[in-house]
Amino acid sequence: MSDKRIVVPCALAGAALIALAPLSALAQAKEPVKIALVSSKSGNFAAMGVDVLNGVRFAVEEANAKGGVDGRRVIVAEGDDEGTPDAGRRVAEKLTREGHNLIIGPITSSISLAISQNLARWDAAFIGTISKADKLTTDTCSPRFVRTNHSDAMDLAMIEQWVKNVPGNNFAIVAADYVWGHDSASSFEKAVTAQGKKVSVKLLAPLGTKDYAPYIQQLKAANVDAIWVADVSGGIAFVKQAADFGLTPKTPLIGHALVSNFLINATGNAMEGVPGNVGYTPDIDTPASKAFAAAFKAKYNRLPSDTEGQAYNGAMVLFQGVKLANSVQPEAVTKALRGAQVDTLYGKMTIRAADNQLLIPNYVARVKRADGVLRPVIEQTYPASITPPASALCKM
């Protein structure tokens, strides 16, 4: 058999290859989107960190499967912040120095503050998806930081309305002893005292607390109507021990970031019936939320958690910043997002130009059995319009 070869002119061959090239290959022609995914793989927030990683990874895989972001492949480098500001700052700096200068993923406000203060020096940008402390968008705000989740101020505006219908007149507070816990405790106390109610016990638990027995003894002795809990890192231990020592269900729990899926899953039935604020659930009735929940369930055979939803939503916003800027340069991305309307899991929402805060609705959920599992189910929705004005302390 003779060896017959077809010779194609170079120009025609090149055109044919371009025509046949998949979108993923064409994405290589543009500078990639290089993300530093910094979150807690170890330390006090590791249980929540798993969900952050899942949410961002899912968004990246989905984007690359569709040909990338604005024709750019998304590349992720991951780092463990170990749940501490020092480790978070170090790993974020390392990744940005290596070219992954679009940061996403930190959980605690103390870590986010440590990172946000260095963004200009590192030539980086930061999309905050979990941290709530007001300082991030007040006196320490940065034009390179965009927050896509609720701030403490947004939660307080909702809490002030919600507590009007919370049963009881005498409350206790258990909060984590760091910036977010302090903000949450102050916010709740301000809200209930404005209603003529009181907080008779306020306890601050150091990060890493494992034994809550001393706190529980004080709470039982106080005989309050309900307990406000704002302690993400110690939430699992506190909820379990509160049930073991008979504090609950006699004394109801309510709280800030308490009705999170990772905490519910780890505490059996102890959380059933507990109300609290929530950043995302699959109950949010928008096309984007429904599509995300369906795609996530198709891959993992379960619905996304609150933290996974918020992390995914932040990645959505980051990708839109790249498209709007037609660039992966950090300053250009956040500049393009400032004041922009963006598609989110909550619908089309605005990033406030004064402080780079995404304005979104807020929610109160209760832990119920739905879809065959215990999870937060939204009971009340509060519109984005109740969000307080941007702080005058933010100088962008």
Q: Angle, to 10 degrees, between the axis of helix 306-325 and the axis of helix 330-337?
A: 100
Q: Mean pLDDT across the chain, nearest whole number? A: 92
Asked whether 125 and 333 are in contact (CB, 8 A), the reply is: yes
CA 360 to chain CA mean position, Å: 13
Phi then psi for 382, rounded to 5 degrees?
-120, 130
- Give the per-residue pLDDT at 178: 86
Residue ranges of domains in the chain: 27-150+284-360, 154-278
16 pLDDT tier (thresholds 50, 70, 90): very low
Indicate the helix (H) or strand (E) that contains 170: strand 170-176
- Give the per-residue pLDDT at 28: 53
- Radius of gyration (C-alpha) of the chain in whole angstroms: 23
| Dihedral of alpha carbons 78, 115, 176, 351, sign | negative
Other beta carbons within 10 Å of 324: 17
Closest listed residue to residue 205, CA positions, set 178, 243, 186, 240? 178
What's this model's pTM, rounded to 2 decimal places? Answer: 0.89
- Give the per-residue pLDDT at 255: 85
CA 328 to chain CA mean position, Å: 22
Least confidently predicted of 33-42, 172-181, 309-318: 172-181
Burial class (CB in 10 A: 0-12, 13-18, 19+), 301: exposed
Determine the average pLDDT of the residues in 373-388: 96
Instruction: Tell me: pLDDT of 18 over 90.
Output: no
The strand pair at 226-230 and 253-255 is best described as parallel
Asked whether 97 and 122 are in contact (CB, 8 A), the reply is: yes
Instruction: Tell me: pLDDT of 141 over 80.
Output: yes
pLDDT digits (tens, 9 = 90+) for 47-75: 999 999 999 999 999 999 999 999 999 99
| Dihedral of alpha carbons 272, 274, 279, 283, sign | positive
Tokens of 356: 């780079």
Determine the average pLDDT of the residues in 342-352: 98
CA 172 to chain CA mean position, Å: 26
- Give the per-residue pLDDT at 98: 98
Beta bridge partners of 173: 202, 228
- Give the per-residue pLDDT at 159: 87
Tokens of 394: 């933010």
Q: How far apart are CA 267 and CA 254, in angstroms?
A: 15
Helix ranges (DSSP H) in 163-231? 179-193, 213-222
Homologous superfamily (CATH) of 27-150+284-360 is Response regulator (3.40.50.2300)
3-state secondary structure of 384: helix
Homologous superfamily (CATH) of 154-278 is Response regulator (3.40.50.2300)
User: What is the 8-class DSSP label of residue 137?
Assistant: G
156 pLDDT tier (thresholds 50, 70, 90): confident
- CA angle, residues 47, 85, 208, in degrees to nearest 5: 45
Q: How far apart are CA 77 and CA 55, in angstroms?
A: 15
17 pLDDT tier (thresholds 50, 70, 90): very low
Closest listed residue to residue 197, CA positions, set 239, 162, 235? 162
Q: How far apart are CA 341 and CA 280, in angstroms?
A: 19
Burial class (CB in 10 A: 0-12, 13-18, 19+), 196: exposed
Q: How far apart are CA 293 and CA 35, in angstroms?
A: 23
Closest listed residue to residue 88, CA positions, set 52, 37, 135? 37
For residue 214, is the peptide bond before it cis, meaning its omega torsion is within 30 degrees of 0?
no
Q: Do domains 27-150+284-360 and 154-278 have the same CATH topology?
A: yes
The length of the chain is: 396
